[in-house]
Amino acid sequence: MATVEVLATEVVVPAEETPAGAVWLSNLDLAARRGYTPTVYFYRPNGDPADFFTASAVRDTLSRALVPFYPLAGRLGLDGAGRVQIDCTGEGAVLVTARSDHYALDDLMNEFVPSDEMRDLFVPTAPAPAPNPPCVLPMAQVTRLRCGGVVLGLALHHSVVDARSAAHFVETWAGISRGFAGDAAAPPCFDHRLLNARPTRAVLYEHPEYKPEPAPGVHAATASRYASAIIKVSKQQVSALKDRCAGASTFRAVVALVWQCACRARALPPDAETRLYSMIDMRARLAPPLPKGYFGNAVIRTSTVATVGEVVSSPVGYAARRARAATSQGDDYARSLVDYLEGVDAMNLPRSGISRAHLRAISWMDMSLTDADFGWGVPAFMGPALMYYSGFVYVMNAPGKDGAIALALSLEQESMPEFKKVFADDLARLEV
């Protein structure tokens, strides 16, 4: 079994004195999954090995990045009423340095799929009482491989960051490492009251994504058992797919095909209900929009529903239109959701897996690989370190400049081989 040797674990505090006090969290922060989002960045060796991702350089630049992002140096806490908040204590972030004599980068990239094993190897695990208050918010691990390459593993607490905020932090940290000042990126905005509930709540939609699913019955997915895969879709295949989806975005078109193929691979009855879930960034959709540097959770869960027969038997453009229905909400929908969450226990919403008839698709296409250049080149790969349960798909930009995308996907173990076959067949037909 592959192993990673931990060389040192330390706590990195901000390079300067930072503000104290508490940062209030919005209902969208409270509704986020209570836990860490583990991601990995793979870097090829570049330049003098003595200078490449040294512990001292990583420590120094992380310390400086924690100055503008000072809440991340605090701890998850509770206010007097028991509501989760950030206590800005300046205690710092966890940094682990490690090495692996087993892996060279190319071998790792050929073997890597998001899984518990990969997360355990390359992403640090928080000490108790993680992920509950009082716990550390960011953790980083730098693992040097036998070829000289490096894996940077990050775990950021989802109660305080979504994907866009995580990318903002990494972009700033990498920019500092490349020699830019700490304010090179947009300054972070921690005013979460911009997403406060309205004085007079107005819940105008049902918001089923924040309610328990009906009894799962025979189509239940087992959260702890899944197979995962990384699948590349070329720029030409994406273009051909979009041509069949009436102007749909790349995300919607690709997810439409994944949805179709997952329904086929799962061999579900035609009359079974299948729901496509998604997470939508509302920063630019609110009126007025949130500040460019808004730092926190500004995403909402959405979904659309159809029968398996409708998804499988219709052209892929049908599924793309359904995907658009799940990803086109605006200010009124988001404000309705915030008001709805004000009236429920947002800290204890259902966060379990989904039925095996369903799919949860998330776009990470805004997470630029170029912005994760710490001065030694862009990552050879970036993606999630594990999938939480079966039925997850992340749509990401693939490394390189050829315009391809990458899918990180999880399905039931018995469904994955058939999915890979039908998905590859459908992609091949697009190029005919």
Is the distance from CB of 221 to CB of 412 less than 8 angstroms?
Answer: yes
CB atoms within 10 A of CB 205: 14
Cis ω before 350 (30° cut-off from 0) = no
Active site residues: 158, 373
Q: What is residue 294's DSSP assignment?
A: B
DSSP string for residues in 341-409: HHTS-GGG-------TT-EEEEE-TTS-SGGG--SS---SEEEES--SSTTEEEEEEPSSSS--EEEEE
Rg (CA), the chain: 21
**Both tokens assigned to 242:** 């979009």
The span from the CA of 378 to the CA of 414, in Å, is: 36
Q: What is the dihedral of CA 63, 69, 74, 77, to 10 degrees?
A: -160
Is the distance from CB of 394 to CB of 362 less than 8 angstroms?
Answer: yes
CB atoms within 10 A of CB 217: 8
